[in-house]
Amino acid sequence: MTPEQHQRATDLFIEVCELPPEQREAFLRESCSDDPEVLAEVESLLMEDATSEGFLDRPALGSAIGLDIDELTDGAADDDPLVGRRVGRYQVIRLLATGGMGAVYLAQQETPRRTVALKVMKQGISSPAMVRRFEHEVQMLGRLQHPGIAQIFDAGTCDVGHTRQPYFAMEYVEG
């Protein structure tokens, strides 16, 4: 599957999840009539969605996963509340980008020592449907193996204020 097909499958999956179940098949047949591989991927994601048990409901490393929100590190140059803090096994260095579902940070993993991109779901949008979308992004990226697609290293949840927010760590690619 090409990166373009992956993006199309992701977009279609998100769209089809918004539809009532009885409208999904017709929508997919029409939307994917030109690409059976994308259709198969979206159908696979829908089957996973129907059978998934919500792996983000529990931390990947048990009680070791957490976000230290007591204080910022001295000299944190960014106003973002996560910069300078720990999310699970990752020390957040700086904000890289924000999007509709979350923010992506440059972070340092301690063991093995490496720089990663850390995506954390935005606070305030973590409805069950949005958490499912985030989870499916993790699942799709985790299944894909292509030189042009960053590899997922870890996923879990962290405490942000009084809520648990999903996150995942992936290969950091400059540029």
Neighbouring C-beta atoms of residue 160, cutoff 10 Å: 20
Contacts of residue 54, defined as CB under 8 A and 6 or more positions apart, other chains included, come to: 131, 135
Q: Please give the Cα distance from 112 to 90 (Å, whole number).
A: 11
Q: Please give the Cα distance from 155 to 169 (Å, whole number).
A: 6
Q: Please give the Cα distance from 147 to 106 (Å, whole number).
A: 20
Per-residue b/e over 2-32, b at no fewer than 16 CB within 10 Å?
A: eeeebebbbebbbebbeeeeeebeeebeebb
Q: Please give the Cα distance from 94 to 83 (Å, whole number).
A: 5
Angle 142-144-150 from CA coordinates, rounded to 5°: 75
- pTM for the whole structure: 0.55
**Per-residue pLDDT at 168:** 93
Sheet of 163-171, strand order:
86-87, 90-98, 102-109, 114-121, 163-171, 152-160
Q: What is the pLDDT of residues 90-145, one digit of tens each?
A: 999 999 998 877 889 999 998 899 999 999 988 777 778 888 888 888 888 888 88
Q: Are strands 163-171 and 152-160 parallel, antiparallel or unpaired?
A: antiparallel
In this predicted structure, the answer to whether residue 36 has a pLDDT above a threshold of 80 is: yes
Contacts of residue 79, defined as CB under 8 A and 6 or more positions apart, other chains included, come to: none
Q: What is the pLDDT of residues 49-73, one digit of tens each?
A: 665 544 444 444 333 333 333 333 3
Q: Tokens in use for 140?
A: 């799709």
CATH 3.30.1440.10 is right for the domain spanning 56-171: no
